[in-house]
Structure 1
Amino acid sequence: MPERIQQRRTGGWRKPENTVSVARPSRWGNPFRITPSGLTDFPWQVRSPTVDHLLGLHDTERSAREHVVELFEMHVGPMGSFEYDDETLAKLRHDLGGKNLMCFCPLDQPCHADVLLELANGGTSHAVP
């Protein structure tokens, strides 16, 4: 079963076989970022108390990382952007299906690669608990 690999920049580290990087700036990178202050930064630069509340960003019990993964899932889900239409989903499955996915996120924390692993291997995306 494909798994998530933590990408490293340390000397001597090599990407494992059958592994694809989904970190930014790759085609499959998460467009949602965590700012140095820990707040979610939207690619379209829209922030308001209403948007924050609807997306659960007022919830201090959840990490900024959980929020950006959930935003990514919403982005690729049925209500998501045109980038993940049927043709793009087919491309995602062709490019990433059956492969390990690599990102810089720590393995013990949520990552958008988890959503991509699910989608690439025939599943449907799922929200971060």
Structure 2
Amino acid sequence: MNTEPRRIQRRRAKGWTLAGAADPFRGGVIVDRSSRYGNPCKIALMQEMGYDDPHAAAAANFRTWLAGSRSDAPTDEADRRRERILAGLPSLRGKDLACTCRLDQVCHADELLRRANMPEPEQAAWIAQVRARVDRQRVRDGVQPLHHTTEGAPA
């Protein structure tokens, strides 16, 4: 029996259910593009840009974006979307995560699994660092910060 949360492939086939695919004790959460946890970086865009492995490129972009980079998406909408994901990370702890990516492909759900299952104090510190990083970039860009309590937080 696998005790660690894992990524599972969401299927759109008749009869497939998350309840049937996820561990019955842990449960699962859908994290594909239709959910609040979806990767805003589109694989099709990575293909158009000529990446050899567009899935890996999209996952890498997600990892950088989630960690607080505003370089590819310097908008309020992107910052608020990141914040929704950060705020929801603790609720993903211990759950299986379902995305439509094949299991042999790199997926943003791998990063969500890693971040959601960090030790709680480490996760809280990481989230605070991301929020501070985003706010510093917003101020640098002449935009109001999202969090007023992040002054002095490490980058």
CA drift of 1:88 comes to: 5.3
SS at 2:8 equivalent: strand
CA drift of 1:38 comes to: 2.2
Residue equivalent to 1:79: 69
CA drift of 1:36 comes to: 7.9
Alpha-carbon distance in structure 1 between the residues aligned to 2:69 and 2:47: 26
Query: Could you tell me whether the CA contact under 8 Å between 2:46 and 2:57 is conserved in 1?
Result: no
- Percent identity of paired positions between Structure 1 and Structure 2: 35
Structure 1 residue runs of 5 or longer lacking an equivalent are 41-56, 125-129
CA drift of 1:35 comes to: 1.8
1:3 maps to 2:6: yes
Q: TM-score, normalised by structure 2?
A: 0.57
SS at 1:20 equivalent: strand
Alpha-carbon distance in structure 1 between the residues aligned to 2:45 and 2:10: 20
Comparing both chains, which one has the higher relative contact order based on Cα–Cα distances under 8 Å and sequence gaps of 6 or more? 1
1:83-129 Cα offsets, whole Å, 9 max, x none, are 445x853x2332211100000000001000000000101167xxxxx
Query: Could you tell me whether the CA contact under 8 Å between 2:5 and 2:113 is conserved in 1?
Result: yes
Alpha-carbon distance in structure 1 between the residues aligned to 2:93 and 2:63: 17
As a proportion of its length, which structure holds more strand? 1
Residue equivalent to 2:53: 63
As a proportion of its length, which structure holds more helix? 2
1:34 maps to 2:25: no
For residues 64 and 92 of structure 1, do their structure 2 counterparts lie closer, same or farther at Cα, with a shift above 3 Å needed? same
SS at 1:38 equivalent: helix
Query: Could you tell me whether the CA contact under 8 Å between 2:46 and 2:54 is conserved in 1?
Result: no
Alpha-carbon distance in structure 1 between the residues aligned to 2:6 and 2:89: 15
For residues 38 and 108 of structure 1, do their structure 2 counterparts lie closer, same or farther at Cα, with a shift above 3 Å needed? same
For residues 70 and 6 of structure 1, do their structure 2 counterparts lie closer, same or farther at Cα, with a shift above 3 Å needed? same
Query: What's the Cα RMSD here?
Result: 2.5
The structure whose Rg is larger is 2
For residues 9 and 31 of structure 1, do their structure 2 counterparts lie closer, same or farther at Cα, with a shift above 3 Å needed? same
